[in-house]
Structure 1
Amino acid sequence: MVDMTVVELSRWQFALTAMYHFLFVPLTLGLSIILAIMESVYVMTGRQVWRDMTKFWGTLFGINFVLGVSTGITMEFQFGMNWSYYSHYVGDVFGAPLAIEGLMAFFLEATLVGLFFFGWDRMSKRGHLTATWLMALGTNLSALWILIANGWMQNPVGSEFNPETMRMEVTDFMAVLFNPVAQAKFVHTVSAGYVTGALFVLAISAFFLLNRRFVGFAKRSMTVAAAFGLASALSVVVLGDESGYALTDNQKMKLASLEAMWHTEPAPAPLTLIGFPNRDTQETEHAISIPWVLGLISTRSLDGEVEGILPLVEQAESRIENGVLAYDAMMRLREDPDNADAQAQFESARDDLGYAMLLRRYVADPREAGPDLIAQAAMDTVPNVAVMFWSFRFMAGLGFYFIALFGTAFVLSSMRKHETRWFLKLALVSLPLPWVAAELGWLLAEYGRQPWIIEGVLPTFEGVSSLHPTQMIMTIVGFTALYGALAVVEVMLMIKYVRKGPYPDGPPRGASQKPQGGFVPLPAE
């Protein structure tokens, strides 16, 4: 039995570092593509302003990239420090995509970032453009391999548990690579990053226009952000729907929890717009629902069934009981590897072994658990329904807000009404919202998987290292202080270079940068 204080502190620390790291990832994803688009226009037209745009937004990209790399390295160290048993248990599977990410995507990306910044006057236009597009590709490849690893944690395909080594081992790497959950997560996460990059460019362009600074530069940037952002925002909603469809077969409890569906509804199931989940009464009070919508989204049919939370708990009880048989057979095989009866029993129940491990939170040997402990462990498979329910609705609401925002920006840009002040103010105050939506998405993905660190295979509390709570508290305080300092550095650098603008040494020849009323321009330094 494990110390749950260490488990909770380990989870808090990883959540702190992961969610902090993901403040930088989506902006890197989005800006890399926008830089490639802007430089493509420069190469095709030869107009200097597009080169200036690429270099200015590239400076902000570089600041963000450096912070993203430094915070990402810390996360991988934590697998060995805080989650050593997890690393041992799944290293054969989990290590492969992480290694490929480091060897191929990260080094490719880092090398091409260097070419982007230092190759302007050393490479031909087309050569530098090629490097910029490859940099964007490397950025996306980095995200792909990370999300393949995470997708396997959500849906552990292409692998099986070996009772001789007591580890998960790869049986089909192509199944791991083309895991439907991983693919859905990748396209959804990347498109969310594109929205983040587009809104970042849109908001800073709005800042320049409100201050009547770098007007021509800002209008062009706003036009690119509007078009790219609208396409990205639409794709986020479409691909988010695909992610929901993937949950229907692979993570039924997560789907039922984010919809607060306690009981299985007649097909096609309704979608609850708003309500108040109550775990005590196991009902969603004051619910307002739209008939059929959830069934159509999650099953793509009129007769597909979406299972409720309580029926899934009953299934978990049965799987725990069957998993105890697998655990018993495994222990007998460790004593006598040639025991044919134990081998046959293990093979018939091996898929439920992870469910038996849920009992180890309450008893050292799952075979000693009675019906009450089995029922309690089965209820542990239900995440915090209220958190899931409201997080999903805020995230989805922001997704539709982004479509409206970028749609308006696209229309105004097309009509050459870039300086519509009410919209510029709205765009500027909307700047933090993509990060809010992205963090809510990760909250749904990771918190909604609890109590599993690997869905259906390994409970979270089994994966931690043998540490003392004091050690955990000290490192959490240290990480918080370090990351807080890095956040201050990031914000200060971003503000500094935004204030300087694209022309720190003065406007280009023939361009007027005089303010024309409205906001008072900020000083260059």
Structure 2
Amino acid sequence: MEILDVARWQFGITTVYHFLMVPLTIGLALLVAIMQTIWHRTGDPKYLAMTKFWGKLMLINFAMGVVTGIVQEFQFGMNWSAYSRFVGDVFGAPLAMEGLVAFFVESTFLGLWIFGWDRVSKRVHLASIWAAALATVASAYFILAANSWMQHPVGVEIGPDGDPQLNSIWALLTNSTVLAAFPHTLAGSLAVAGTVLIGISAWHLARRHRHSPVDDPDRQVWHTSLRFGGWVGVAAFAAVAVSGDFQAKLMFDQQPMKMAAAEALCESEEPAGFSIFAIGDLSDPHCGNVSSVTVPALLSFLAEGDFESEVQGIEELVPAYQEKYGSHYPVDERLGELSGMPIDYVPSLPVTYWGFRLMIGFGVVAALGAAAGLWLTRGGRLPKGRWFAPVALASIATPFLANSFGWIFTEMGRQPFVVVPNPTGVDGVFMYTASAVSPGVSLGEALFSLVALTLVYAALAVVELFLLIKYARAGVEGVMRPPWQDPPADSDEGSTEPEKKDPDVLAFAY
């Protein structure tokens, strides 16, 4: 085992773990802001209850996302210092913007929202949740801009030391790759939040309100939340499909090997069919014995927008990569066993092929679940079958899995590069993953940090799930005092004591 393998496993585990929190935070923050806006404009108490309940879950997830996200940047100095030196002149700007413009704004206004109930005006309080929600979106944009530069370097020139130097922040922030990735990620985040609304609301409706009258306030909260999540989910999954198609077309131009690997396309085809299911040994990088059940000409349409174009296969792309970027790694002791060895330009076919399909498959399942939720609750109805609530709860996992497999495909599919060469960009702006590892870190140190972080993250997962389940089960009563517990308007109860604040307002955050 080489340190490269350990460093990649560590970054992969922590990144996928962190990204479980990110889309839920982004999606819930936006939906909670919309809920509070509706309450502010209509005065309907069910939207106040929805704002407080879903806002509480959002805050739990936000706190855990901050804790796990900090480790991501620490790792650049821990296991990837060579990479940090290479990209430092480029990443400084977007990461500083993420920290100063987005994260501080997000934290400040989220604090104002938490502690501002009944302490600031309703308009200021509403503005604070919108500022926090939009800051989460801005934060995602700056992070995606940095990641997209790794997928498609732009706006740089080669400096005196041979490393890229940023010469246009505008080019970096308007990179075609980030312009495609951002709406895709945002739509995926809303899909996650919508599915969470559906699952938890369905559970509450089945548990407490199967025979409740239509005008029961608690039932209205959960029925409206389920419908709200359903509409958001359907719209978000449609946006995911459209933005995903745009991303795929960019990948065919920018990273043709990734898309060939995603299809296990060995030989070039004209037109090329889209593989539904592959049969054979995908572990063979030459995929010579792999056969697929395909939809004729669909891959050509995904690549070029027509049903006739040729799509290059792995066997044709490998010599082109070798000619342009070299056939062997440099002779360098820091590369370990890869020093001077032939470069394998074919990413892991099982990971890219099945990751791509699992991403699509789980997304489709989640979209169908959102549509089913809308259909079964139309006209004020409740789902009659006892199957819906457990299925809706289980479906919460599907958009999380779709997002995770999408990121795994994106990151694993660019190997052996950590910074992928831009086919039309500045020559020499690329970096092999094997060259990015910290030269001063031993295998034992990397293993220790891998085990330690994995154990800490496992403990954090237990804490997050415990808190989310606890407050999700508590329902509206966990964040708001039921109206029958309020003292009468003409009561002089408490008149001889200092006024006590209502303890219901997101008390766990204190």
Task: Classify the TM-score, shorter chain.
Answer: 0.7 to 0.9
Distance in structure 2 (CA, Å) of the matches to 1:280 and 1:449: 15
Give runs of aligned pairs for residues 464-479 of structure 1, distance below 5 A.
464-465=437-438, 466-479=440-453
Residues 275 and 284 of structure 1 are in contact (CA less than 8 Å); yes or no, is this contact kept in structure 2? no
Matched, 1:81 2:46: no
Q: Which residue of 2 aligns with 1:351?
A: none
Q: 2:112 aligns with which of 110, 115, 119?
A: 115
Q: 1:138 aligns with which of 115, 135, 138?
A: 135
CA separation of 1:150 and 1:284: change in aligned 2, threshold 3 A: farther
AA of the residue aligned to 2:453: F
Residues 262 and 309 of structure 1 are in contact (CA less than 8 Å); yes or no, is this contact kept in structure 2? yes
Q: 2:125 aligns with which of 120, 125, 128?
A: 128
In structure 2, stretches of 5+ residues that fail to align are 210-217, 422-429, 487-510
Deviates most, 9-18 or 499-508: 499-508
Residues 277 and 385 of structure 1 are in contact (CA less than 8 Å); yes or no, is this contact kept in structure 2? no
Q: Which residue of 2 aligns with 1:487?
A: 461
Q: Which residue of 2 aligns with 1:520?
A: none
Residues 280 and 291 of structure 2 are in contact (CA less than 8 Å); yes or no, is this contact kept in structure 1? no
Q: Which residue of 1 aligns with 2:436?
A: 463
AA of the residue aligned to 1:461: A
Q: Which residue of 2 aligns with 1:270?
A: 273
Residues 195 and 229 of structure 1 are in contact (CA less than 8 Å); yes or no, is this contact kept in structure 2? yes
Distance in structure 1 (CA, Å) of the matches to 2:170 and 2:286: 44
CA separation of 1:360 and 1:446: change in aligned 2, threshold 3 A: farther
Q: 2:162 aligns with which of 158, 166, 184?
A: 166
Q: 1:259 aligns with which of 259, 263, 278?
A: 263
Q: Which residue of 2 aligns with 1:396?
A: 360
Q: Which residue of 2 aligns with 1:204?
A: 200
Distance in structure 2 (CA, Å) of the matches to 1:241 and 1:316: 25
Q: 1:310 aligns with which of 306, 315, 319?
A: 315
Once the 2 structures are TM-superposed, how far is the Cα of residue 297 of structure 1 from its aligned partner? 1.3
AA of the residue aligned to 2:232: F
AA of the residue aligned to 1:289: T
Specify the SS of the correspondent of 1:415.
helix
CA separation of 1:37 and 1:360: change in aligned 2, threshold 3 A: farther
Q: 1:407 aligns with which of 371, 396, 403?
A: 371
Specify the SS of the correspondent of 2:231.
helix
Q: Which residue of 2 aligns with 1:508?
A: 483
Distance in structure 1 (CA, Å) of the matches to 2:411 and 2:228: 33
Q: 1:215 aligns with which of 208, 216, 219?
A: 219
Once the 2 structures are TM-superposed, how far is the Cα of residue 72 of structure 1 from its aligned partner? 0.4
Q: Which residue of 1 aligns with 2:408?
A: 443
Once the 2 structures are TM-superposed, how far is the Cα of residue 202 of structure 1 from its aligned partner? 0.9
AA of the residue aligned to 1:409: G
Distance in structure 1 (CA, Å) of the matches to 2:186 and 2:391: 25
Residues 260 and 277 of structure 1 are in contact (CA less than 8 Å); yes or no, is this contact kept in structure 2? no
Residues 366 and 395 of structure 2 are in contact (CA less than 8 Å); yes or no, is this contact kept in structure 1? no
AA of the residue aligned to 1:392: F
CA separation of 1:131 and 1:275: change in aligned 2, threshold 3 A: same
Give runs of aligned pairs for residues 171-190 of structure 1, distance below 5 A.
171-190=167-186
Residues 36 and 47 of structure 2 are in contact (CA less than 8 Å); yes or no, is this contact kept in structure 1? yes
Distance in structure 2 (CA, Å) of the matches to 1:86 and 1:475: 18
Q: 1:423 aligns with which of 388, 408, 411?
A: 388
Deviation digits for residues 72-110 of structure 1 (CA, Å, limit 9, x no counterpart): 011101111111111111100122111110011101111
Distance in structure 1 (CA, Å) of the matches to 2:471 and 2:173: 40
Specify the SS of the correspondent of 1:22.
helix
Distance in structure 1 (CA, Å) of the matches to 2:246 and 2:71: 31
After superposing on structure 2, the runs of 4+ consecutive aligned residues of structure 1 that deviate more than 6 Å are 361-365
Q: Which residue of 1 aligns with 2:497?
A: none
Distance in structure 1 (CA, Å) of the matches to 2:85 and 2:280: 38
Distance in structure 1 (CA, Å) of the matches to 2:161 and 2:330: 22
**Percent identity at matched positions?**
38
Q: Which residue of 2 aligns with 1:499?
A: 473
Once the 2 structures are TM-superposed, how far is the Cα of residue 161 of structure 1 from its aligned partner? 2.5
Q: Which residue of 2 aligns with 1:343?
A: none
Deviation digits for residues 111-157 of structure 1 (CA, Å, limit 9, x no counterpart): 11112211121222222222222211111101000000000000111
Once the 2 structures are TM-superposed, how far is the Cα of residue 412 of structure 1 from its aligned partner? 2.6
TM-score (norm 2): 0.87
Residues 180 and 246 of structure 2 are in contact (CA less than 8 Å); yes or no, is this contact kept in structure 1? yes
Distance in structure 2 (CA, Å) of the matches to 1:363 and 1:431: 44
Residues 286 and 315 of structure 2 are in contact (CA less than 8 Å); yes or no, is this contact kept in structure 1? no
Once the 2 structures are TM-superposed, how far is the Cα of residue 359 of structure 1 from its aligned partner? 3.9
Residues 276 and 386 of structure 1 are in contact (CA less than 8 Å); yes or no, is this contact kept in structure 2? no
Distance in structure 2 (CA, Å) of the matches to 1:251 and 1:312: 10
CA separation of 1:412 and 1:82: change in aligned 2, threshold 3 A: same
Distance in structure 1 (CA, Å) of the matches to 2:410 and 2:286: 26
Q: Which residue of 2 aligns with 1:5?
A: 2
Distance in structure 1 (CA, Å) of the matches to 2:68 and 2:409: 22
CA separation of 1:460 and 1:120: change in aligned 2, threshold 3 A: same
Q: How many residues align?
A: 463
CA separation of 1:47 and 1:5: change in aligned 2, threshold 3 A: same
Specify the SS of the correspondent of 2:170.
helix
TM-score (norm 1): 0.84
Q: 2:33 aligns with which of 28, 33, 36?
A: 36
Deviation digits for residues 391-442 of structure 1 (CA, Å, limit 9, x no counterpart): 1111111222222111122223333223333333321111111111111011
Residues 361 and 461 of structure 1 are in contact (CA less than 8 Å); yes or no, is this contact kept in structure 2? no
Distance in structure 2 (CA, Å) of the matches to 1:286 and 1:361: 39
Distance in structure 2 (CA, Å) of the matches to 1:183 and 1:462: 29
CA separation of 1:431 and 1:284: change in aligned 2, threshold 3 A: farther
In structure 1, stretches of 5+ residues that fail to align are 322-354, 512-525
Matched, 1:228 2:232: yes
Q: Which residue of 2 aligns with 1:387?
A: 351
AA of the residue aligned to 2:470: K
Once the 2 structures are TM-superposed, how far is the Cα of residue 224 of structure 1 from its aligned partner? 0.9
Residues 105 and 132 of structure 2 are in contact (CA less than 8 Å); yes or no, is this contact kept in structure 1? yes
CA separation of 1:417 and 1:490: change in aligned 2, threshold 3 A: same
CA separation of 1:62 and 1:180: change in aligned 2, threshold 3 A: same
Once the 2 structures are TM-superposed, how far is the Cα of residue 471 of structure 1 from its aligned partner? 0.5
Deviates most, 410-419 or 23-32: 410-419
